[in-house]
């Protein structure tokens, strides 16, 4: 019974390149969330998606960041033209429902380093 | 703005003793609270939760207490074990809003 899978675990990009982070939720979960953790900080909500729909992207920067959760395949968080300030750990979580009163299961994270 | 606050960023406790972690929140709409445990280079792992209709929830060595009037909750771990050494995050949400608001975390070190 696989949990949330994320890849790659580590990603190094130079300034100006694109970063693509992938997340496969727990089997049967249709609700996916992305969080970002900066050094010495807690996790900050970025975006909440269901299959083929973005439900809440209020925590995501307006520029350079986008997310999708297609009908088939993993959820993707895409960061275009990365800058040093994008260096962080990006965590994906999933839940079986979206009512806000159930736990979210987290993946191991992708650690993005921008040189 | 930080809606969930965890002060006292680190805690050292002797094995076998009680660890107490505190968390305060500012958003009155929060009605569901969770504690997550995180080891370095891993994702957060769910530990225990509590709904606002309760004031206590217990699961083995872990107990969470909720004081709604004070907007305060605490996590008690007893007895503490060396494997409990980790960062503990308090998180909150409310019905109809799926995002979790996290505190900055507390580092717990259990000394054998």
**Residue of B98, B103, B106 for testing the chain A interface, max A β-carbons within 10 Å:** B98
Q: Does B101 touch chain A (CB under 8 A)?
A: yes
Q: Which residue has the higher pLDDT, B66 or A29?
A: B66
Size of interface A-B (CB pairs under 8 A): 72
Q: What is the pLDDT of residue B8?
A: 75
**A4 vs B43: CB contact, 8 Å cut-off?**
yes
Residues in chain B within 8 Å Cβ distance of A56: 98-99
Torsion of CA A77, A78, A83, A87, to 10 degrees: 20
For residue A40, the 8-state DSSP code is T
Q: What is the pLDDT of residues A16-57, one digit of tens each?
A: 999 999 999 999 888 999 999 998 888 999 999 998 899 999
Q: Please give the average per-residue pLDDT across B3-26, as a whole number.
A: 93
Q: Are strands B86-94 and A110-114 parallel, antiparallel or unpaired?
A: unpaired
Residues in chain A within 8 Å Cβ distance of B49: 103
Name which of B46, B49, B91 is nearest A105 (Cβ-Cβ): B46
Nearest residue to B4 (alpha-carbon basis) of B85, B106, B82, B109: B106
Q: Is the pLDDT of residue A1 over 60?
A: no
**B32 vs A40: CB contact, 8 Å cut-off?**
no
Q: What is the pLDDT of residue B36?
A: 96
Element (H, E) at B104: none
Q: What is the pLDDT of residue A90?
A: 98
Q: What is the pLDDT of residue A100?
A: 60
Q: What is the pLDDT of residues A48-82, one digit of tens each?
A: 999 889 999 999 999 999 999 998 899 999 999 99
**Residue of A5, A42, A50 for testing the chain B interface, max B β-carbons within 10 Å:** A42
Distance CA B64, CA B44 (A): 17
Q: Is the pLDDT of residue B96 over 90?
A: no
Q: Does A10 touch chain B (CB under 8 A)?
A: no
Distance CA A31, CA A51 (A): 7
Q: Is the pLDDT of residue A102 over 80?
A: no
Q: Which residue has the higher pLDDT, B9 or A87?
A: A87
**A100 vs B102: CB contact, 8 Å cut-off?**
no
**A43 vs B89: CB contact, 8 Å cut-off?**
yes
């Amino acid at each position: 019974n696989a949990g949330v899978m994320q890849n790659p675990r580590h990603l190094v990009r130079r300034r100006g390149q694109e970063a693509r982070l992938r997340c496969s939720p727990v089997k049967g979960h249709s609700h996916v969330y992305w969080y970002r953790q900066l050094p010495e900080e807690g996790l900050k909500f970025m975006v909440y998606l269901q299959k083929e729909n973005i439900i809440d992207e209020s925590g995501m920067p307006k520029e350079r960041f986008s997310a999708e959760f297609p009908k088939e395949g993993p959820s993707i968080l895409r960061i275009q033209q990365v800058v040093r300030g994008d260096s962080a750990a990006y965590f994906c979580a999933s839940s079986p429902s979206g009512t806000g009163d159930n736990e979210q299961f987290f993946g191991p994270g992708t650690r993005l380093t921008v040189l | 703005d930080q809606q969930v606050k965890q002060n006292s960023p680190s805690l050292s406790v002797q094995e076998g003793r009680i660890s107490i972690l505190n968390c305060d929140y500012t958003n009155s709409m929060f009605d569901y609270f969770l504690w997550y445990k995180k080891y370095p280079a891993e994702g957060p792992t769910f530990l225990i939760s509590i709904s606002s209709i309760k004031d206590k929830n217990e699961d083995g060595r872990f107990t969470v207490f909720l004081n709604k009037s004070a907007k305060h909750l605490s996590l008690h771990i007893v007895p503490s074990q060396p494997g409990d050494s980790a960062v503990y995050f308090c998180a909150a949400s409310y019905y109809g809003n799926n995002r979790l608001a996290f505190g900055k975390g507390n580092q717990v070190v259990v000394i054998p």
